[in-house]
């Protein structure tokens, strides 16, 4: 499996909140260009989000389905891009003493063309891709953590 890790100055809960918002998928997943729909139960096991990959007008529609969820520590899904195949992606979050979180992402092709590519070659292709994805995920989580809260005139909380 291709493996990348990063330390993020945010809590596991703050980072998992980004993972749990399926509508943010295309903002941090490299290559995902548009989220078409997200099941109301996302990120529960079996829930799906429907996305596009590619560059317009050369895009493909497909899905990501959650195969394991242990909020706020772990989320795994299988991303399908037919007819190319599918990959298993696992994100793990480990809280550090300093108020930071060590985030790991693992990815491995499991079906289709990608599955016949040797693991070492998959790693060469996926590591830079996943470094960028984790960088984007970190930026979103940190930015959301710093966003000021507006209590408004009605006393409700608005972000």
> What is the reported pLDDT for 149?
61
Which residue, chain included where needed, has tokens 């009605």? 154
The segments of the chain whose pLDDT lies below 70 read: 148-159
Residue 5 near residue 106 (C-beta atoms within 8 A): no
Residue 80 near residue 92 (C-beta atoms within 8 A): no
Strand positions, DSSP E, the chain: 2-8, 32-38, 48-55, 58-70, 74-81, 85-95, 101-112
Q: How far is CA 1 from CA 4, 42, 79, 112, 121, in A?
A: 10, 25, 15, 16, 10
> What is the reported pLDDT for 151?
55
The 10s digit of each residue's pLDDT in 82-120 is 777 999 999 999 999 888 999 999 999 999 988 898 989
> What is the reported pLDDT for 54?
87
Element containing residue 119 per DSSP (H, E): helix 119-146
């Amino acid at each position: 499996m291709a493996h990348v890790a990063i330390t993020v100055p945010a809590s596991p809960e703050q980072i998992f909140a980004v993972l749990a918002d399926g509508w943010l998928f295309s903002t941090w997943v490299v290559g995902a260009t548009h989220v078409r729909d997200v099941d109301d139960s996302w990120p529960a096991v079996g829930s799906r989000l429907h996305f596009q990959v590619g560059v317009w007008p050369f895009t493909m529609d497909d899905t990501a389905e959650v195969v394991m969820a242990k909020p706020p520590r772990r989320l795994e899904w299988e991303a399908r891009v037919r007819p190319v195949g599918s990959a298993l992606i696992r994100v793990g979050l480990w809280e550090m003493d300093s108020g930071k979180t060590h985030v790991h992402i693992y990815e491995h092709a499991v079906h289709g063309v990608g599955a016949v590519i040797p693991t070492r070659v998959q790693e060469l292709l996926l590591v830079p891709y996943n470094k960028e994805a984790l960088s984007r995920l970190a930026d979103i989580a940190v930015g959301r953590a710093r966003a000021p809260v507006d209590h408004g005139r009605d006393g409700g909380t608005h972000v």
